[in-house]
């Protein structure tokens, strides 16, 4: 399998505080990976570091995506290479509909104009398959959206933009059971042998509906344990205390 993401000995500071402390892991095409850990472990810091958020200063290490060193790349450059990131708390943007947001993003990624009717057909197809409200794509991006609608809109963006790697940060946060099932279905629709998904979470709820290849336990800025989906059950029963002695 082709390696899509490789992170080696990554150290990251946020406001002069060291958050990631020599983190290592890899993601191959065709895989779904999960990073679990308690609040404050560094999960969201890792996501922001991968995507080039300048607030997260890389002091050592390397991030390689699809054979390209993106350690010091800018977010728009990383997106054009095929990385998609959803947010724990998506921002609201008045005056820009979900449809136009996707249309603009898709045009920027492909460097070509997007046919309105082709995109409308594509969005309508996904809205139907995911049992979303038809008017969702016509509304201003996340304005007045419920938590579930925001996450569904991000899954819709992911499907339309079709990245090589989708990073989902706490995408199940605050969702009810039905919304989690919709989000999980969207992830399964997206997945194929050529792309990968990285899910960052402190909960196991969304994982109940997905096939997971590897689970990584992140504590105090380091991946202390990697295993299969059975690690999720272990965490649910025992918490993270059992990993404190791992290195």
Give pLDDT tens digits for 46-95: 999 999 999 999 999 999 999 999 999 999 999 999 999 988 788 899 99
CATH assignment of 3-97+164-243, given 3.20.20.150, 3.30.300.30, 3.40.50.300, 3.90.226.10?
3.40.50.300
Rounded CA gap, 221 and 178, in Å?
A: 33
Q: Check: CB of residue 86 under 8 Å from CB of residue 140.
A: no
pLDDT at residue 125 greater than cutoff 90: yes
pLDDT at residue 180 greater than cutoff 70: yes
Say what the pTM is: 0.92
Rounded CA gap, 181 and 153, in Å?
A: 14
Give the pLDDT score at 174: 63
Give the 3-state secondary structure of 172-189.
CCCCCHHHHHHHHHHHHH
Rounded CA gap, 182 and 147, in Å?
A: 13
- pLDDT, tens only, 141-163: 999 988 888 888 999 999 999 99
CA distances from 110 to 25, 102, 104, 163, 194 (A): 29, 12, 10, 11, 18
Q: What average pLDDT does the segment 134-139 reach?
A: 90
């Amino acid at each position: 399998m082709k390696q899509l993401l490789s992170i080696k000995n990554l150290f990251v500071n946020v406001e002069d505080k060291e958050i990631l402390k020599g983190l290592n892991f890899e993601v191959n095409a065709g895989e779904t990976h999960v990073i679990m850990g308690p609040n404050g472990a560094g999960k969201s810091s890792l996501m922001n570091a991968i995507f080039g958020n300048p607030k997260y200063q890389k002091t050592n290490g390397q991030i390689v995506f699809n054979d390209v060193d993106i350690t010091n790349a800018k977010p728009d450059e990383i997106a054009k290479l095929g990385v998609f990131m959803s947010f724990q708390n998506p921002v609201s943007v008045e005056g820009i509909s979900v449809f136009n947001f996707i249309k603009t993003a898709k045009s920027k990624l492909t460097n070509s104009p997007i046919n309105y009717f082709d995109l409308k057909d594509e969005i309508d197809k996904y809205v139907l398959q995911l049992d979303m409200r038809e008017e969702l794509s016509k509304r201003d991006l996340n304005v007045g959206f419920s938590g579930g609608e925001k996450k569904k809109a991000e899954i819709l963006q992911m499907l339309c933009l079709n990245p090589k790697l989708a990073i989902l940060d706490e995408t199940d946060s605050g969702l009810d059971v039905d919304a989690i099932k919709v989000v999980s279905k969207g992830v399964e629709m997206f997945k194929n042998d050529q792309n990968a998904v990285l899910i960052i979470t402190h909960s196991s709820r969304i994982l109940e509906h997905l096939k997971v290849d590897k689970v990584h336990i992140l504590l105090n800025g380091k991946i202390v344990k990697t295993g299969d989906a059975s690690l999720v059950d272990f965490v649910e029963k025992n918490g993270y205390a059992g990993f404190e002695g791992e290195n």
